[in-house]
Structure 1
Amino acid sequence: MYPGPIGAGTVSSGEVETESSMPNHADESIGARIASYRNLAGYTQREFAEHSHLSLGNIRKVERGERLPTHGFLATAARTLAVSVEELTGQPYRGQQRSDEKAHAPIVAIRTVVRAFDLPPEWRTTPRPLADIAGDLEEATRHRAAARYTRLGLALPELLEELTAAVHLLEGDRKRQAAKMLASAYYMAHCLAYRLGYADLAGQLDDRQRWAAGMSADPLTVALSQWSRAGGFQAAREYGAGLRLLAHARDQLTEEAGTSSSSVVTLLGSLRLREATLASRARDEQATEHHLTEASRLAEQIPDQTDRVRYHLTFGPANVAVHDIAAQVELKNADEAAKRASALRLPPSLPRTRRGHHHIDAARAFLAVGDRDKALTALQDARQVAPQQTRYHPMAREAVRLLAQQYRRVGQDVRTLAAWMGQAVA
């Protein structure tokens, strides 16, 4: 164990930080929370519709728990009500189980390391050789790809602290290598914080990732940091700025690294897919289709048409299809989204994070067209493939809640899912 004097130390499962000024009613629906914040802001439903440019009918159905909100709806509602998306979703979901506490406990230690990122080198203990740290970093990478949040969280504080020390204490090529590794660790920490619902920490980790990437002298590491940064614009509903950032990142990567290597193709394709996501959240169907088409063209360059992972990002025909379905849901092309979700067969080689996310989006599509049985199956598939990702995903939780409400006689399968998520079913 690395005995760094500044950072995390051991993670205690008893440490809890308060993350919201409002009580976190874990069993309260997103629609109910939107209604509460709307009332606090002094809006009637009609006034809220006028100020947000959301449809009155959609607002009513979401607040009554009859319809799943899209990500775009949530971002717009949060911006209009001057709250965070997490305040509307009720994140972080800490739950009542010991497994929940284990998943969230490392957040305190990660915050400690993040605060100490620029403290003087003489305050730090000499880290292990980078070759030794690399093995632990690779293991953490596998945990992230499999959405094993608890194991990832336990590994990250020590990795972040040790690699931060290496960046401060090493010189030349070794410093650049350490910076590249640190940027990778920050990326994984950002993913964990975002997925668990700690948006403020995710933003800090975004900044630290770009700081480390800037010292790496690696264009692909820089491109990954820009891909991550665009997520902040996406969450804030600043789609235009996010799209400009991504286009600039593509141009910069092409200029500095060319377009021939498989890693560059993966990064370029992933940037395109994130552009498609932002465009769909902005309800720009033409731009969404353009970015998906360009991503498909890049995917044709991949040998054997098999998705591959480079710099943490997955790219290939299957992930293009996954993003296409999610985009159709956001664009409210529910019939097309459900049709494509029914037809898609994902390769088992696709990382669990991507497969789990697809099943959640498929459930959203099936609920939108009223196919509750397929929605239930999709959510069960998501739980099987990536249980922690599914348990802490606001759309998965809301989909289970909606299923429980829509079934006149709630079956055991729905009750089991709801109980697993800590939701009460009448």
Structure 2
Amino acid sequence: MSNTAHIGQRIRELRKIRQMTVRQLATSIHISPKTLEKYESGDRNPPPGIIAQLARSLHVGPDRLTGQPYLNGAETIEQVQAVIPELRRILLTYDNPDDLLTAPRPLPVVAAEVDHISRMRQDGRYVPMGPLLPGVLSELTHIALSTRDPREQAQAYWWLARGYRATNSLAHKLGYHDLSLTAIERFRWAASHTEDPMLKVTGAYLRAGAMVRMGAYGSARRVLEALDGEIERMAPEGCLPPAYLAVQGAVLLKLAVLEARDGHPERAQQRLAEGRACAELLRQDTTHYEMSFGPTNVRIHEVAALIDLGDTEQALARLREWGAEQDNDEWELPSGIAAERASHHHIDVAAARLAEGDRAGAHRDLVRARELAPNHVRFHPTVRQTAAALVRLDRGQSDTIAGFARWTGV
């Protein structure tokens, strides 16, 4: 199956391989045959929740439908995939690493590099980040396994966990989902050797996020609800410190996305309201434990939940409503938001505009997303789907739209 095929073609081909009719596949995921026909023809792009359901019914992973990893087109120029084999080797030998040619640098020096990598991850700068990962992971592994100082060992594992988190993000964004899952398990292993209970919560949160992407909503819901309760029990006299409050808010927003993708709008709204209450206590946008959370991210998730529920009209109306508060036509994100988070918002909004027939607006949001985090945009499946649809619908054959699509590798 060609990577250049659009997602609808892949759905149709796999449906025929499974000897299913349009009606049978549509019924299995509770959508109309007409909607499925639009997905297969490329007239409409399925949202992430539908992709996960389709993949499950067709007995494949979501990456089989999205065509990941993307190895064709412009990506080969950047050679970002060249780091993947080495990362596989390092994650495989995590507790019995290969010898280093030179002694590892002091822990504070390696930790500073991991901190830099973490900022690059939050800004979606995967291409320059990737080559840095194998070296720091190897050094931190050797420090953690060899030091006899319990305090330094716990710190080494703490920084190693952050390195594994960056590896998870890189693998996930490039479409190497098996490697992403391995990196999450390595994160959890490293976190278990630290004295930071919230780092262990973060590991479970990352695992639940992978479950949501795979459409395992029941399992993810149980994990996230348990984490919400666990964080509450950590509160001294019912008062959570800001970092814990931010992680709890991120858990609640993940639950909101889950409920939206699972087709439960009332539950999604309830979780959003709970997340909003956490954000009101924080009063600012934060990145505790590398999770973007605060009033802005609650609004971003509110729009995303509406889009996942298929209510793109209401999602765009919400942007206009919030824009009026700023004396703007539409809501503008405040400065200082992590570039990847802001970029993801514009990707979602572009898909919503396309669904509402605003092709020019969809293109503008894709361009804005690229300005914020080009590496993130180039490897994002929704960007490819939206760009490919814009090209198919562009009767004027605009060089600008076609050029953007070529840049993504379509």
Q: When the two structures are superposed, what TM-score results if normalisation uses the length of structure 2?
A: 0.93
What SS does the corresponding residue of 1:95 show, helix, strand or coil?
Answer: coil
- Indicate which of 253, 260, 265 corresponds to 1:280: 260
Structure 2 counterpart of 1:269, one-letter code: G
Whole-angstrom CA distance in 2 between matches of 1:94 and 1:396: 16
Whole-angstrom CA distance in 1 between matches of 2:98 and 2:76: 37
Whole-angstrom CA distance in 2 between matches of 1:417 and 1:395: 14
Whole-angstrom CA distance in 1 between matches of 2:152 and 2:234: 21
Structure 2 counterpart of 1:44, one-letter code: T
In the TM superposition, residue 407 of structure 1 has moved relative to its aligned partner by: 2.3
The equivalent of 1:367 in structure 2 is: 354
2:198 counterpart of 1:220: yes
- Indicate which of 266, 271, 279 corresponds to 1:299: 279
CA gap 1:217/1:256 in 2 versus in 1, 3 angstroms: farther
Runs (4+) off by over 4 Å: 98-101, 120-126
Verify the 8 A CA contact 1:94 1:100 in the aligned structure 2: no
Whole-angstrom CA distance in 2 between matches of 1:120 and 1:270: 34
Verify the 8 A CA contact 2:90 2:97 in the aligned structure 1: no
- Indicate which of 156, 160, 172 corresponds to 2:150: 172
The equivalent of 1:266 in structure 2 is: 246
In the TM superposition, residue 186 of structure 1 has moved relative to its aligned partner by: 0.7
Verify the 8 A CA contact 1:156 1:189 in the aligned structure 2: yes
- Indicate which of 223, 229, 254 corresponds to 1:251: 229
Structure 2 counterpart of 1:61, one-letter code: K
2:198 counterpart of 1:211: no
Verify the 8 A CA contact 2:48 2:308 in the aligned structure 1: yes
Whole-angstrom CA distance in 2 between matches of 1:351 and 1:285: 27
Most deviating of 64-73 and 168-177: 168-177
The equivalent of 2:68 in structure 1 is: 91
C-alpha distance after superposition, 1:214-235 (max 9, x if no partner): 1112012112111101122112
Most deviating of 349-358 and 260-269: 260-269
CA RMSD of aligned residues (A): 1.8
Whole-angstrom CA distance in 2 between matches of 1:26 and 1:341: 34
In the TM superposition, residue 262 of structure 1 has moved relative to its aligned partner by: 1.6
What SS does the corresponding residue of 1:119 show, helix, strand or coil?
Answer: coil
Verify the 8 A CA contact 2:121 2:129 in the aligned structure 1: yes
C-alpha distance after superposition, 1:190-231 (max 9, x if no partner): 011001100111111111111111111201211211110112
How many percent identity over aligned positions?
A: 32
Whole-angstrom CA distance in 1 between matches of 2:312 and 2:209: 24
The equivalent of 1:11 in structure 2 is: none
C-alpha distance after superposition, 1:70-114 (max 9, x if no partner): 111100110011111101000011223366542211111110100
> Can you give the 5+ residue segments of structure 1 that lack an aligned partner in the other structure?
1-22
Counterparts of 1:27-42 in structure 2, within 5 Å, are 27-42=4-19
CA gap 1:416/1:96 in 2 versus in 1, 3 angstroms: closer
Structure 1 counterpart of 2:367, one-letter code: Q
Verify the 8 A CA contact 2:78 2:127 in the aligned structure 1: no
Verify the 8 A CA contact 2:97 2:141 in the aligned structure 1: no
C-alpha distance after superposition, 1:19-63 (max 9, x if no partner): xxxx5x232100001111111111111121233333211110000
The equivalent of 2:35 in structure 1 is: 58
Structure 2 counterpart of 1:285, one-letter code: P
The equivalent of 1:131 in structure 2 is: 108
- Indicate which of 387, 398, 402 corresponds to 1:415: 402
The equivalent of 1:186 in structure 2 is: 164
The equivalent of 1:199 in structure 2 is: 177
Verify the 8 A CA contact 2:234 2:240 in the aligned structure 1: no
In the TM superposition, residue 125 of structure 1 has moved relative to its aligned partner by: 6.8
Whole-angstrom CA distance in 1 between matches of 2:280 and 2:25: 45
Q: When the two structures are superposed, what TM-score results if normalisation uses the length of structure 1?
A: 0.90
What SS does the corresponding residue of 1:105 show, helix, strand or coil?
Answer: helix
What SS does the corresponding residue of 2:287 show, helix, strand or coil?
Answer: strand
2:373 counterpart of 1:386: yes
In the TM superposition, residue 406 of structure 1 has moved relative to its aligned partner by: 1.7
- Indicate which of 232, 235, 242 corresponds to 2:210: 232
Verify the 8 A CA contact 2:122 2:338 in the aligned structure 1: yes
Most deviating of 365-374 and 164-173: 164-173
Whole-angstrom CA distance in 2 between matches of 1:62 and 1:187: 34
Verify the 8 A CA contact 1:103 1:150 in the aligned structure 2: yes
Q: Kindly tell me the number of residue pairs found equivalent between the two proteins.
A: 398
Whole-angstrom CA distance in 1 between matches of 2:295 and 2:34: 37
C-alpha distance after superposition, 1:318-377 (max 9, x if no partner): 111111111100111111112223432101200100110000000111112111121111
In the TM superposition, residue 120 of structure 1 has moved relative to its aligned partner by: 7.0
Whole-angstrom CA distance in 1 between matches of 2:73 and 2:409: 8
Whole-angstrom CA distance in 1 between matches of 2:49 and 2:113: 37
Whole-angstrom CA distance in 2 between matches of 1:121 and 1:26: 35
In the TM superposition, residue 251 of structure 1 has moved relative to its aligned partner by: 1.9
In the TM superposition, residue 121 of structure 1 has moved relative to its aligned partner by: 9.6
- Indicate which of 327, 338, 343 corresponds to 2:305: 327
Whole-angstrom CA distance in 2 between matches of 1:286 and 1:136: 43
C-alpha distance after superposition, 1:174-200 (max 9, x if no partner): 111111111111111101100110011
Whole-angstrom CA distance in 2 between matches of 1:176 and 1:256: 21
CA gap 1:120/1:321 in 2 versus in 1, 3 angstroms: closer
Whole-angstrom CA distance in 2 between matches of 1:383 and 1:240: 34
In the TM superposition, residue 241 of structure 1 has moved relative to its aligned partner by: 1.2
The equivalent of 1:162 in structure 2 is: 139
Most deviating of 45-54 and 389-398: 45-54
Whole-angstrom CA distance in 2 between matches of 1:241 and 1:125: 44
What SS does the corresponding residue of 2:5 show, helix, strand or coil?
Answer: coil
CA gap 1:402/1:96 in 2 versus in 1, 3 angstroms: closer
